[in-house]
Structure 1
Amino acid sequence: MSAVRALAALTVLAAVTAPTVAAAPPAVDDSLLPPAAPPAPPAPTLRHGDCVDGHAGLGAAESAPRLDLDSVWALTRGAGQTVAVIDTGVARHRRLPHLIPGGDYVSTQDGTADCDGHGTVVAGIIAAQPDTAAPTGFTGIAPDASILAIRQSSNKFRVATDAAQAGVGDVDTLAAAVRFAADFGAGVINISSVACLPATADLDDRALGAALAYAVDVKNVVVVSAAGNVGGPGQCPEANPGDSAAAADVAVVVSPAWYDDYVLTVGSVDADGAPSAFSLAGPWVDVAAPGEHVVSLAAAADGLVDRSAHDDPLSGTSYAAPVVSGVAALVRARFPALTARQVMARIEDSALHPPEGWNPTVGHGVVDVLAAVSGPSVAAAAVPPTARPTLAPPQPSAPGAGGSRAAVRAALICLGLIGGVAVVAAALGRSRGPVAGD
């Protein structure tokens, strides 16, 4: 995986054979790393919308088809692994018996309240246990793994002193949540939300970059992120070309995906393995997984959900990412000696590669769960050469530079689903004063 922060001004240095793993990642900048602290809202908040109710769960049948994981589960079901779900919270559910309250950056609760219904869907894809009443129905990828629930964003809350704000959650609280999850001891972190901005904007998310580096290289955590969506309200503002890996062609960038050296970024495909029309392409995409017509756990009922409150099918890169987080938990349980970077490389190497070996839409290809858990790693030399670039790291804008891009610090956090909620739109136009290191 190449170090990527794919702004349009970045220069392509060379085409390389994928996959690649950085041999000497940069040291963590402690001055940017969020402090070690338990989760808490940065400011008092109020709920300003109704929480999801049980209606959305009525359309999902307990007999929903599941992935054929019997051969995988003969080897491992993910026991002993903890996957942190940094999202809208994870509701307590009878099919998530290993749910751990992690904390709350939205309100003064413990992470197990999910007013939006999004984080519970994500957690179910990772670790929902089979239903004894319908054993052939929906099941999570790693049903014996534990879920660490951290509520970091919500479209149903706003800062108490800002009636115009539509939701809470930004790159700073995301950075703090990553640090907390890593210190807690999670082996995998799932992030199914993105900060999504035009390439001409300047996002000050260096604290998030430091937290990701800390998680991977200090705490040995696998971090999995959604690639982002286009095509709907609250989604990414425009699409990147799906046939180009050149940084100069990138119109939209997403975080945390642009910290590609530390993040396994996941695009979405349909049931036949074709790229989803809404899945944002980019030079940071590493693998792909099914993300359309999803079935998972309902937050407000004790059953399943397959549609949003607006009666749209649940689809999005939000739901492709937890498939890969579940696979990462299985790999870590099966091969506990592997480092986080080796786990990430194994998932990439064992994927069903596209003809060109890698492309900006599906990365190294659709994940192959059985191959990742049972087969040997594929040597990098066996993967066909690709046009994936090595990108130069960005340089922050000099303070006082005339005509510089608008700085954005509290940009976030769009939940990557179609037909569902999005959280706060990016707050463009906020100026940034000089910052140490600029």
Structure 2
Amino acid sequence: MGLSTAVAVASAQPSTGHPPDPDCAVVIPATRNDVPGAEEVPEPLTMAHRFATGAGIRVAVIDTGVAPHPRLPPVIPGGDLVVARDRRPDDPPLPEGAVDDCDGHGTIVAGILAARPSAEDGVVGVAPGVELISIRQTSRRRAADSVGAGGSLASLTDAINLAVDQSAQVINVSLTSCLPPDVADSVNTTAFDAALSRAEDREVVIVAAAGNADEQCPPGSTVLPAHRPTVVSVSALEDPHTIARYSVPGPGPLLSAPGHVPLALSPRDPGFTVGFADPPGLRAFEGTSFAAPVVSGTVALLMELHPADSAAGIRARLAAAVDPATGAVDPASVVTHVPADYRVAPHPVVIPVPAEASSGVRERSIVTVTTLSCFVGVALTIRSASHSRRRRGRNRERQ
């Protein structure tokens, strides 16, 4: 399972808070200047939340675990599929696996999707009203080396089934299984495809990262679950008008969201973070992993607004409301979009009766007609008199 592509952009000091676990990724704390003010909530989210917040919708995050945070909804432990490596006798006990995010990845994803608002700052998730389920499916930091720290297609299959069993309505998968072209046809995906079919039968919408191209995931690779027809595949935007070069193209409709996250919920303490501490600098939160939860949150908003829609119906609403050039998903545009076929019956065509002329027009018309009649009458009288004189003249000549 691949994690997000990252870029070294600056140097910083590691976060302070709970005693650091030497096994876990170190994050960089945000400064006061990094945190937007309360008046700086993004306008698309402010508008979208006038219509829906995802209230009552259950979203499962299949990832590296989600650490509890005061700005997240209560995290429901949905299961741990990571076989943990042996611990030292003097190590402190670990939290339950599903809420232990040693890698930091799953908590960042969950915050993008579901961070709750605060009067003290402008940080808020796309769907802050959802119920949040965490399923730890992979970990590079906790997993035993003998079982593969990156997870497997089999554990992803199990994770999807666990999410469905716990009544998840949306499943966010920001980790990918990339099958290079030379092996894709030889991998048995029967059980995996059955899990996707089961989710579709239960009207669950699965949203997945499109994947980040690298040596392990070259062009032409099959990315699972993103390349399956019932899955919403999400590419990353480099800027509002450009798909990031690292996004793996998918076979389905193009959907995208920003891939760079300048500020995120910290998996280590109650504050915020701007990236991982990776010598010699900072590794930013960037990749299709962080674009996917924007779309998952938007799906939750749609589900709250259209509870009778099927999974296919929600996907259709989503695809119809995105930017046609980049597939960019704007939550406000999506929740306020009116489909072209919104009318259930033909609109009746009514031809209006011409309005009567005003009394002033009628009076002027009558005067005009009367005047013309007078002119015509005078002309006829003159013509008749002239004709009579000529006739009398001819009669005298004959005499």
Same fold (TM over 0.5): yes
Name the counterpart of 2:30.
58
Name the counterpart of 1:404.
none
Partners of 2:83 and 2:144 within 8 A in 1: no
Name the counterpart of 2:251.
283
- Tell me the SS of whatever aligns to 2:283: coil
Residue type of the alignment partner of 2:55: A
Name the counterpart of 1:146.
131
Identity of aligned residues (%): 35
Matches within 5 A, 1:33-432: 50-53=23-26, 55-58=27-30, 61-63=34-36, 66-68=41-43, 69-107=45-83, 109-134=96-121, 137-159=122-144, 162=146, 167-201=149-183, 202-216=186-200, 218-231=201-214, 236-238=216-218, 240=219, 251-259=220-228, 261-284=229-252, 286-310=254-278, 311-354=282-325, 362=326, 365-378=327-340
Distance 1:297 1:159 in 2: 27
Distance 2:259 2:300 in 1: 19
**Relative to structure 1, is the Cα distance of residues 126 and 190 closer, same or farther in structure 2, using a 3 angstrom cutoff?**
same
Distance 2:230 2:107 in 1: 25
Distance 1:315 1:292 in 2: 4
The Cα offsets for residues 272-318 of structure 1, whole Å up to 9 and x where unpaired, read as 23111211113235411111244221101211222123212211000
Partners of 1:104 and 1:151 within 8 A in 2: yes
Distance 1:224 1:124 in 2: 16
Partners of 1:182 and 1:221 within 8 A in 2: yes
Residue type of the alignment partner of 1:230: A
**Relative to structure 1, is the Cα distance of residues 276 and 323 closer, same or farther in structure 2, using a 3 angstrom cutoff?**
same
Residue type of the alignment partner of 2:241: G
Residue type of the alignment partner of 1:253: T
**Relative to structure 1, is the Cα distance of residues 128 and 166 closer, same or farther in structure 2, using a 3 angstrom cutoff?**
same
| RMSD value, Cα | 2.2
Residue type of the alignment partner of 1:199: P
Name the counterpart of 2:383.
none
**How far 1:219 moved relative to its partner?**
1.1
The Cα offsets for residues 62-121 of structure 1, whole Å up to 9 and x where unpaired, read as 217653212211111111011100000000000013321212111583511101000000
Residue type of the alignment partner of 2:223: V
**Relative to structure 1, is the Cα distance of residues 285 and 313 closer, same or farther in structure 2, using a 3 angstrom cutoff?**
farther
Residue type of the alignment partner of 1:112: V
**How far 1:170 moved relative to its partner?**
0.7
Partners of 1:229 and 1:279 within 8 A in 2: yes
Partners of 1:187 and 1:222 within 8 A in 2: yes
**How far 1:131 moved relative to its partner?**
2.7
Partners of 2:253 and 2:319 within 8 A in 1: no
- Tell me the SS of whatever aligns to 1:223: strand
Residue type of the alignment partner of 1:75: F
Name the counterpart of 2:8.
none
Residue type of the alignment partner of 1:105: L
Distance 1:57 1:210 in 2: 42
Distance 1:255 1:166 in 2: 17
Distance 1:351 1:337 in 2: 22
Partners of 1:126 and 1:322 within 8 A in 2: yes
Partners of 2:56 and 2:131 within 8 A in 1: yes
Structure showing greater radius of gyration is 2
**Relative to structure 1, is the Cα distance of residues 172 and 166 closer, same or farther in structure 2, using a 3 angstrom cutoff?**
closer
- Tell me the SS of whatever aligns to 1:371: helix
Distance 1:184 1:286 in 2: 30
Of residues 89-98 and 198-207 in structure 1, the stretch that sits farther from structure 2 once superposed is 198-207
**How far 1:207 moved relative to its partner?**
1.5
Name the counterpart of 1:407.
none
**How far 1:142 moved relative to its partner?**
0.5
Unaligned runs of 5+ in 2: 1-20, 85-95, 343-399
Residue type of the alignment partner of 2:42: L
Partners of 1:84 and 1:150 within 8 A in 2: yes
Distance 2:269 2:63 in 1: 19
Partners of 1:57 and 1:301 within 8 A in 2: no
**How far 1:379 moved relative to its partner?**
5.5
More helix by share: 2
Runs of 4+ residues over 4 Å off in structure 1 = none
**How far 1:200 moved relative to its partner?**
1.4
Residue type of the alignment partner of 1:255: L
Unaligned runs of 5+ in 1: 1-47, 241-250, 355-361, 381-438
The Cα offsets for residues 184-212 of structure 1, whole Å up to 9 and x where unpaired, read as 11110000011112211132222111101
**How far 1:236 moved relative to its partner?**
4.2
